[in-house]
Each structure stands twice: as structure tokens, then as C-alpha cells.
Homo-oligomer: A and B are copies of this chain.
Amino acid sequence: MGGFAKVNAVSPLPLRLGIVTVSDRASQGVYEDLGGPAIRAYFTEVLTSPFEAVPRLIPDDQATIEAALRSLVDEEGCCLVVTTGGTGPAIRDVTPEATVAVGDKEMPGFGELMRQVSLKYVPTAILSRQTAVIRKNALIVNLPGKPKSIRECLDAVMPAIPYCLDLIGGPFLTTDESKVKVFRPKEK
């Protein structure tokens, strides 16, 4: 027991990172899932604290997405879950609705900043409805579908994610500061 606490202090508990690819076509094998692996590669490159990826590949169905998000947080113990795909205006795009439905609190600043950053590259960034929520002690963040846009969005919000996890009781994350500089405000 004391040993557990000691291990915990020396090397922090690994983050369980849910990665949810939402795509009718990729989930049917019609084409390759590029978003999920791009997210995994990003965290492998940027995080210096340990993490384990828990991937999911599911169709654009709201009930299925909700079930995946709930399971990753409640059963798999993921304190961070990122989704890719399904944030646009088309009829099958329901990732934001599923995300809000399972959230305890919405975090509007994530979607605002990610759209603002994407707008530097493409005017169609305003068509993305991506958001973020807190569910229990987990942060769930919607990302776009394309690997290039995923990286741009993660670069924008990643500096704030470790402190967010501190505040909701998640593991202590550290990053390669040459890639992403984490910010933790001093307590007042």
C-alpha cells in the first residue's frame, strides 16, 4: 500500500487516453482510419509522462458515440478522451451532440480556440462544430478528421490540458517542452 503510493510519487500513474475515431466509412473498412493513428503519434511525440492509448473506431451514430465515450471514462478509466471526425454540418455529423450529451460541463473555450486557429488556414473552419466537455474526472475534446488539422488543433489546446486534468483529479502530465510548453498558473 505504502509501496503503491511511493511508486505513484516517483513515476506518476499513466494516463489512460481514449482515442475515438468517428467515421461511417473507416468503421466499415471502406478506407483507412488516419485520424486515430495521427492522434496517437502526436501524444507519443509530445508527452514525456507515461500513457496508454485506448482506441475505438465507430460509425457516425449518436447513441454509439455516447456509449463509447461513457465506457472510456466510466469503465476504462480514461481521464482524457479525444475524438476525430463527425463535427461538420452534414446530417451524419453528430459527434458534438454526443459529446455534449455525456458531459457534466461544457468547455466552450476549446471549440472557440480550435476554430480560431484553423481559420488561419481555411475559411471553412467555421463549419466545424467541435467542442469539449468534462465528464466526471475526464476531459473529452473533439478534433477534426484530417491529420493536419488534428495537429494544428492539438498544438493550440495542449498547453492547457495538463492543468485542466490537475483540476479535475487526473494524472500529472508532462511534455517535451521543445514541442509543447505546458502552463500551470501559480495558486493564488
Q: Which residues of A contact B (CB under 8 A)?
A: 34, 88-91, 93, 97, 105-113, 115-116, 119, 122-129, 131, 134, 139, 145-146, 157, 159-160, 163-164, 167-168, 183-185, 188
CB distance B89 to A167 under 8 Å? yes
CB distance from A91 to the nearest CB of B (A): 7
Specify which of A119, A126, A145 lies most central, judged by the most chain B CB atoms within 10 Å of its CB.
A126
Query: Quick one: copies of this chain in the complex?
Result: 3
Q: Is the CB of B105 within 8 A of A126?
A: no
Task: Please tell me if the beta carbons of B97 and A105 are within 8 angstroms of each other in the complex.
Answer: yes
Q: Which of A90, A109, A116, A164: most chain B CB closer than 10 A? A: A109
Q: What is the chain B residue whose CB lies nearest that of A126?
A: B109
**A68-B130 Cα distance, complex, nearest whole Å:** 29
Q: A115: which B residues are within 8 A, CB to CB? A: 108-109, 112-113
Beta-carbon contact of A126 and B112 below 8 Å: yes
Give Cα A107–Cα B88 distance, bound, in whole angstroms: 9
A184 vs B122: C-alpha distance in the bound complex, in angstroms? 9
Nearest residue, chain B, Cβ from A145: B188
